[in-house]
């Protein structure tokens, strides 16, 4: 009789889990039932354990979907970053990995020569953000401008900017690698302005802020943009030679200039 009651209960759990669109509850309930009986768990303890497994599985599944939708060029983590090359950044990055900057709509700016780990850190922070439940989009500065230009030509720039504000984090990689035409610079400025005190940005650049005027073709636009970006931001300057050159007998690249060592402002 007891076996029959158990079978009926399992059927009922399977039906209810399906109705709730939570099929993993069936597996967790069956797997944990013997453990609960042997350990003398209360009904509340058993129910909490089963639901905890379902919530954990949903969070993991949701994070994976957000990571795949983020457009990251590769999967990078903070654990596989070479901290020996950038020891001064470790504590600040660890603090950012808590995700608090996203809740306060703050920005992160990573400056430094090519090959010092800016894109790696930006990607790793983006993946952490996705795991914390935030929607994330990653693209180069050139790709962002192309996207905004297309929206502008189609007469839907305001709608596109509003849609992008629903993302908790946007990552703009490689600011400064290619200069922008005036119209493109104005569109990029609108992206920055639309997110100001609403949602977070992570930007990477091989140039100090003093070189951004040349990138955007207008010192006034660059100054206004930088003002909005750094008002609520953590700015990290990475130093050193490119990790891509290690062991190749090359100490520096032509694009690395001493001005990258200046204090951003």
pLDDT tens sequence across 13-68: 888 788 888 878 888 888 888 888 888 888 888 888 888 888 777 777 889 999 99
At residue 260 the predicted structure's pLDDT band, cuts being 50, 70 and 90, is: very low
The predicted structure's pLDDT at residue 249: 55
Q: What angle do CA 54, 94, 165 make, to 5 degrees?
A: 65
pTM recorded for the entire structure: 0.76
What's the CA gap between 25 and 40, in Å, rounded? 20
Q: At what angle do helices 141-153 and 182-195 cross, to 10 degrees?
A: 100
Residue 255 has pLDDT above 60, yes or no: no
The predicted structure's pLDDT at residue 4: 58
Lowest mean pLDDT among 16-25, 159-168, 187-196, 242-251: 242-251
The predicted structure's pLDDT at residue 54: 80
What's the CA gap between 102 and 91, in Å, rounded? 18
pLDDT tens sequence across 217-235: 989 999 999 999 999 999 9
With a CB cutoff of 8 Å and minimum separation 6, the contacts of 71 are 137, 138, 139
| Mean pLDDT of all residues belonging to the chain | 88
Residue 140 has pLDDT above 60, yes or no: yes
- 158 C-beta neighbours (distance < 10 Å), count: 12
In angstroms, how far apart are the furthest CA atoms of the chain? 83
DSSP for residue 158: H
Burial class (CB in 10 A: 0-12, 13-18, 19+), 51: middle
Q: Closest Cα to residue 64, out of 72, 237, 255? A: 72
What's the CA gap between 94 and 121, in Å, rounded? 11
Per the CB < 8 A criterion, the answer to whether 136 and 126 are in contact is: yes
User: Which domains, from first to last, does the chain contain?
Assistant: 1-68 (no CATH), 70-241 (3.40.50.300)
Report in angstroms the alpha-carbon separations of 27 from 3, 14, 56, 78, 152: 18, 9, 14, 33, 50
Residue 144 has pLDDT above 60, yes or no: yes
């Amino acid at each position: 009789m007891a076996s029959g009651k158990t079978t009926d209960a399992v059927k009922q759990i399977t039906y209810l889990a399906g109705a709730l669109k939570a099929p993993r509850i069936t597996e967790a309930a069956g797997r944990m039932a013997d453990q609960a009986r042997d350990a003398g768990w209360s009904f509340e303890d058993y129910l909490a354990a089963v639901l905890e497994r379902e919530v954990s599985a949903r969070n993991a599944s949701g994070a994976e979907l957000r990571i795949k939708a983020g457009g990251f060029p590769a999967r990078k983590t903070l654990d596989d970053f070479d901290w020996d090359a950038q020891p001064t950044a470790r504590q600040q990055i660890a603090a950012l990995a808590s995700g608090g900057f996203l809740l306060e709509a703050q920005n992160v700016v990573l400056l430094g020569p090519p090959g010092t780990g800016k894109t790696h850190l930006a990607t790793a922070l983006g993946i952490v953000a996705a795991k914390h439940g935030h929607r994330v989009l990653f693209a180069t500065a050139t790709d962002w401008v192309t996207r905004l230009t297309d929206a502008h030509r189609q007469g839907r720039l305001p709608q596109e900017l509003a849609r992008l504000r629903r993302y908790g984090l946007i990552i703009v990689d490689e600011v400064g690698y290619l200069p922008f035409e005036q119209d493109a610079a104005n569109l990029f400025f609108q992206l920055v302005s639309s997110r100001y005190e609403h949602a977070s940005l992570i930007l990477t650049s091989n140039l100090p802020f003093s070189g951004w005027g040349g990138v955007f073709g207008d010192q006034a636009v660059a100054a206004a943009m930088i003002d909005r970006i750094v008002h609520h931001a953590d700015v990290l300057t990475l130093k050193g030679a490119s990790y891509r050159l290690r062991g190749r007998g090359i100490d520096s690249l032509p694009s690395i200039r001493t001005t990258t060592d200046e204090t951003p402002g």
